[in-house]
Amino acid sequence: MSTSSSLNSLRSRCYHLLDGDRANTPLGYLINGFIITLIVVNVTVVIIESIPEINQQYKIQFQWLEIFSVAIFTVEYLIRIWIAPENPRFGQGFKGRLKYIRSPIALVDLIVIVPFYLSLFINIDLRYLRLLRLLRLLKLSHYIRSMDVFVKVLSSELGSIASAIFAVLVLVVLAACLMFTLEHQAQPEAFKTVLDAIWWAVVTMTTVGYGDMTPVTAGGKILAILIMLLGVGTVALPAGMLAARFSEELQNRKSSLTAEVINALEDGELSDHEKHLLKTISRQYGISEKELNQIIHNQSLELGHKIHCPHCGNSLFDAPIKDPEKKQAPNR
């Protein structure tokens, strides 16, 4: 019984260090910072390895780094499976762990380590192995909370983005077919097939314009002008949609956090439990503690009172937020 309780306590501590409120403690920063640094070093090594001279000189060191990194990533992957029941998103027991294993972020972790073990038994083309090792960059989504906002925006706007991309593809194909019809006879080597014309349409619509293929007929030049004008707005449409939705999502998260702050300030005091809860929510939303303090400061002013600790009576958020223009005179 005591062994089971100790394991549960250890599992809870591990969860809070990796994903919970203790991730903001010095030990949490040390662990997460070490793994982030290891990911960045791995990606840097993958790039450097493409230089034959350096790869030949430090080949053994690179191999040992790979073994060490895979060992760390494997341990981290197993620990995250073990602590999955502590996360309310996945649930308790074996089902919670299975749900975590099927989650996108866990699949990324698995893809990061599986190629190494497969390479021990089968030959894998070095080019593909290098590509799979570059996927370790995706592990940063564990530690960069703003990635969660980006993923949510992409998933919510997937239909609209797909429609915009489809419109761009239709325009590219139509422009390529028309340009091929107008330019094929004038310059058969440049516009040899419709596929060649598609290349021209893409680089023209994206305003890259490499200049390797340019129309010479009057009709082709007129069509090129129209395609360039249409491309400026059409290709930029998905980016504009993402930017607007991204801004809206950030604002929604700040509004939700503000509502939580207002609810916590109803009694005029901010208890330790309420302060801890607000910090946890702000971390889940990807909002910094400085922004949280600013929201609390603003809301306390709007409500007409300061927030004090119920134990010692000192102001809880005066220290992080200083306003030199509003200094109170000392009591005499």
241-272 pLDDT per residue, tens: 777 877 887 888 888 888 888 888 877 677 77
CA dihedral 224, 226, 232, 236 (to 10 degrees): -100
Higher pLDDT, 169 or 236: 169
Residues 6+ apart with CB under 8 A from 81: 97, 100, 101, 106
Residue 90 has pLDDT above 60, yes or no: yes
161-198 pLDDT per residue, tens: 788 888 888 889 999 999 999 999 999 888 999 999 99
pLDDT of residue 22: 65
Q: Which of 151, 174, 170, 152 is nearest to 162 (CA)?
A: 170
1-40 pLDDT per residue, tens: 456 667 667 777 887 777 766 666 778 778 888 888 888 8
Task: Work out the pLDDT band at 107, boundaries 50, 70, 90.
Answer: confident
Residue 321 has pLDDT above 70, yes or no: no
- In the chain the beta strands, taken as DSSP E runs, fall at none
pLDDT of residue 199: 92
Q: Which of 174, 183, 181, 180 is nearest to 205 (CA)?
A: 174
Residue 134 has pLDDT above 80, yes or no: no
Task: Work out the pLDDT band at 320, boundaries 50, 70, 90.
Answer: very low
pLDDT of residue 331: 46
pLDDT of residue 143: 67
Average pLDDT across the chain, whole number? 78
pLDDT of residue 218: 92
Give CA angle at 79 (75, 81), nearest 5°: 120
> What's the CATH number of domain 158-245, 1.10.490.10, 3.40.50.2000, 1.10.10.60, 1.10.287.70?
1.10.287.70
Domain boundaries of the chain, sorted by first residue: 2-144, 158-245
Q: Residue with structure tokens 């990324």?
A: 108
pLDDT of residue 71: 92
Residue 327 has pLDDT above 50, yes or no: no
> What's the CATH number of domain 2-144, 1.20.120.350, 3.40.1010.10, 3.40.50.300, 3.20.20.80?
1.20.120.350
Residue 148 has pLDDT above 70, yes or no: no
pLDDT of residue 323: 42
Q: Which of 231, 244, 189, 230 is nearest to 213 (CA)?
A: 189
Phi then psi for 184, rounded to 5 degrees? -60, -45
pLDDT of residue 174: 92
Average pLDDT over residues 126-150: 69
Task: Work out the pLDDT band at 125, boundaries 50, 70, 90.
Answer: low
pLDDT of residue 311: 56
Average pLDDT over residues 80-95: 81
pLDDT of residue 74: 92
Residue 115 has pLDDT above 60, yes or no: yes
31-77 pLDDT per residue, tens: 888 888 888 898 888 888 888 888 888 889 988 998 999 899 899 89
Chain centroid to Cα 320, Å, comes to: 28
